[in-house]
Structures are given as structure tokens and as C-alpha cells.
Amino acid sequence: MLSLIRLPRVFTINQVPKVFHEDGIISGYRHPRSSATDCILSLFQMTNETLNIWTHFLPTWYFFWKLVTVVLMQTPWQNSFVWPLVVFLLSCCIYPLASSCAHTFSTMSARARHICFFFDYGALSFYSLGSAIIYSAYVFPDKWVSSSFHRWYVPIAVFNTVICTFLACYSRFPEYWSPNFSKLLRVAAFAYPYLFDNIPLFYRVFLCVGEGCTDNGTNILHYKHIALAFLTAFLFATHLPERLAPGSFDYIGHSHQLFHICGILGTHFQMQAMEQDMVARRPWLVQNSFPITFANSGGPALLCVLLNLAIIALFSLPLLSAPVCKEKDHGKGPKKASAKPQPCC
């Protein structure tokens, strides 16, 4: 059937505007003014984005299956102890889905590219908060449970999501004239909340000794998650291996694909660790930790969604109201996909 459909052309880096350029990627670019149909059709041809899309789209359904399983088997409407797990699994569904959609439709225009990735960043910061909520419920070492830091941990994590989303969205604007600063800002935007969220986990598995350190069989899963998280950050920040051999990893094996795969595997081990900690520590936590309520689980998650949407709107509205201009044709670039003018952004 697909053989009867004319798939969109792909282009080289010299044929697309600079805003679409990726370090070390020479070919496989889609038309910078693709239609929505062309974007969807590109899922079934090899471009430099194809595996970026599928490596997040397919895992979305795995996490969705886990979420449905928990909802049906744990009956959260009767058991508030599993609410943090439900919030976390919901964030695990949203962030890869938002990422796959962003990569799919980001070539509709320069303006669409920015807005697509604004939603991607908002979803990632929501996942960060989901991690903080579940860490607060199940991961804190025994000696820190019900401490002042424990009580302020989730409210601070909510504040961090606002900072994360705002900085990540802002980082797209200096990207054209200062790509290194833009990249540094984006890395910092996501590294900061990750490092804060993992303070109790890092202390528990690396620093804590003696009584009250919660040294159980779950820690090996935490080690795997942490290792993959740092590998994910390394790949995102360095653009290896394509920087070492530009053009050799355009379609398969470039850093963003590896970044996606490591991120998903890290989330998988994180999810397994959360489930084991929840089961193993439940009797002790019920007796010694503060109760799980909407105010420290679903409430912060809902607030995060609303704040992130407000930030995305704050950055998107100026783009949507920006003047439009027709892209000049220098004879080297791809032909226009439509007669619509291109936004000057």
C-alpha cells in the first residue's frame, strides 16, 4: 500500500533554514514547510527524525499499559497510597508522546518547530515533578521521612518545574545567534530539577550509612536508572557520535536517538524501582510517613500542568502574532510546499 503513496522528499543541511540544522547531521532533513500529511507520511520513510519519533512513540503505549494495569488492579479511587504511582505513570505516558509529536510536526514551519518543542519541554518538566511526587511517597530514606525537607520537597519541586519550563522555552530564542549558550541554558534547565529531585535518592544509595538508610534489594534498580540518566544527559549535551563523523549517523545511531533510548530505559528501571519500593516499604511508610493526599500528589501535578500551559502560551502567543514573510528562493533550497507565507521567527 505504501508503495502506491508518494513519500515526501528529503534534503541536505544546505537546503533547509538554519533553525532546522542539527550538529553533525548532514542529510535526511524533511521539507521545512511540510504539511501535516507529509509529516505523518514521513514516519514511514527514513529521515533523520524517523527513529527519534518511533523510539518515543512505541514506549508511550508500554507506559500506558502499565498505567491502565495499575488503575484496574490497584483501584486508586479506594487506595490513596497508589496515587503517586498513578501520577508518575501518567507523566511517563505524556513525555514520550509529547516528544514524538514534537519531532513529527516540527517541520511544518519555523514557528511550529518552536511551539512543538515548547510542549515537549513542558511534558519533560511534568515528568520531573511526577518523579518528585513518587520519590516523596516511596523513596525517601527512613531517617529523612517526615522531616522538614520532606514536607517542603514537593512544593519546591513544583517551583522547579516552572523554572525548568521557562528556561527551556526561552532557550529556543538565542539558538540562532548563540547556539552554545542556548544549549547550555537548556541542559541547565533540565539538569537542575533532576539533581534536586534525586537528592533523597542520591543520599540513600551513595552517602547514607547505618540505621535508617533503607538499604534494600531495590537499590540495584536505582543504580541502573541513575547510570542511564547520566548517560542520557551526556548524549544530549555532547552530540556524540555524529560530531566525530558528520554525515555517518544521519539516519541511524546519532545522539538524539541514543538519548531517547537511554531515557526510556532509565524510566523503565525507575518505574520498576518505584513499584518495588512501594510494595516493600508500604507497612513502614503507612506508620511513619505523613499520609498521601490530593494536596501532595494529584494537586501539585494539576498545578504543574496549568502553570506549564501558561508558560507555553506566554512564549507561543508572540510567535503566533508575529509578522509573516516569504522565504527567499536562492535556487538551492526546496520548493515551497504551499503559498502560505512563512513566519519571521
Domain count, the chain: 1
At 126 the pLDDT is 98
Strand partners, 29: 11
- CA 323, distance to chain mean position in Å, is 30
Using DSSP, state whether 342 is helix, strand or coil.
strand
Residues in the chain with pLDDT values less than 50: 1, 326-333, 335-345
Find the domain containing 325 and state its range.
2-343
Task: Please enumerate in sequence order all residues whose Cβ is within 8 A of that of 102, keeping only pairs 6 or more positions apart, or say none.
Answer: 116, 117, 119, 120
At 214 the pLDDT is 80
Give CA–CA dist 277/301, Å, rounded: 21
- C-alpha dihedral over 138, 143, 147, 149, to 10 degrees? -70
At 7 the pLDDT is 87
Q: What is the CATH number of the domain that holds 63?
A: 1.20.1070
Q: Cell numbers at residue 202, please?
A: 542520591
At 324 the pLDDT is 57
At 205 the pLDDT is 93
At 317 the pLDDT is 94
At 341 the pLDDT is 36
**In sequence order, what DSSP letters do the residues of 49-65 get, joined into one string?**
THHHHHHHHHHHHHHHH
**Cβ neighbours around 302 below 10 Å, total:** 12
Residues 71 and 87: beta-carbon distance below 8 Å: no
